[in-house]
Structure 1
């Protein structure tokens, strides 16, 4: 299936006769990428699946308010990243989990889950990424894995480009330092 432009998608969704098809196309076009960024943040497949569903539900409810100041992709990513960060924050608060214990649970999941693919180097990188602060990890994931530019990441996160560059630099330095000790 060929991708539709934002305008074509929005036209499908705004017409009551084609609205359902529009939503199906929106999901087909973006679900894999949205799930991917969520999964890199929350690690656990079931949590990522739930957050991905919540992201699209929120998008469906709010699409009439979409102003077009960014691409649909950027708008969906903003919703997905906010949902992911909110989920992580709630999880830490709800269970009163110290950060170190939360990291240990996530590392354990990487070691033992059948939902985690990749070789040993990828698993080591994922474990290191878990140790980064959530926002720093998000910036690293968007820049490194998603290959987004700072301008687009700024639109997604609502953070200045200078702050994003600093976050990415700090994340890379922490990763390099931890890789050298492995």
Structure 2
């Protein structure tokens, strides 16, 4: 694994850009895949969004200034691409983004790539009852174990606001799970 600063320098060098980009994809594709998957839920859609994310990273790497960590910059791009994907799909289908997410949850139940148990499916349903921002915060903090400081860079908001949103999200998810006696 190449150190981040060395990788960024290579990515911004015309001679080394392609090889460095292959390394970047190798290092980050799985993390970004699962981050995006938690937002869009569907495997095929996730692959499409991931591809668009890497295209955008490749095209914009020269504008990366190093003010944040490389992966927080990439997470911001992946997050925005996933949200844009959901919103575009909703607009095309002339339904709300919430309806898109409800349909995705229903589809998840029969998804051959979803290997979770009934409890994990119930957790995904609970998460998707949250407002979009709380979903992002919860997923990134709980599943990706991103620090509040890093989350603050990715979502461009205050640490205090993130802590509050995460706490509220946890309460809502807990209430949702307790309301169902089948668990």
**Alignment TM-score, normalising by the size of structure 2:** 0.92
Aligned length: 180
In structure 2, the CA distance between the partners of 1:68 and 1:97, relative to structure 1 (3 Å rule), is same
Distance of 2:96 and 2:15 partners within structure 1 = 50
| Aligned equivalent of 1:58 | 56
Deviation track 1:65-119 (CA, whole Å, cap 9, x = no partner) reads: 1000111111100100111112222222332224553343122112111011111
| Aligned equivalent of 2:29 | 31
Q: Secondary structure at the match of 1:112?
A: coil
- Assess if the C-alpha contact under 8 Å between 1:106 and 1:130 holds in 2: no
**Alignment TM-score, normalising by the size of structure 1:** 0.93
Distance of 2:150 and 2:16 partners within structure 1 = 30
Tell me how far 1:36 sits from its aligned partner.
0.7
Distance of 1:106 and 1:16 partners within structure 2 = 40
| Aligned equivalent of 1:10 | 8
In structure 2, the CA distance between the partners of 1:103 and 1:13, relative to structure 1 (3 Å rule), is closer
| Aligned equivalent of 2:45 | 47
Question: How much is the aligned-residue C-alpha RMSD, in angstroms?
Answer: 1.4
Question: Structure 2 regions of 5+ residues with no counterpart?
Answer: none
Tell me how far 1:33 sits from its aligned partner.
0.3
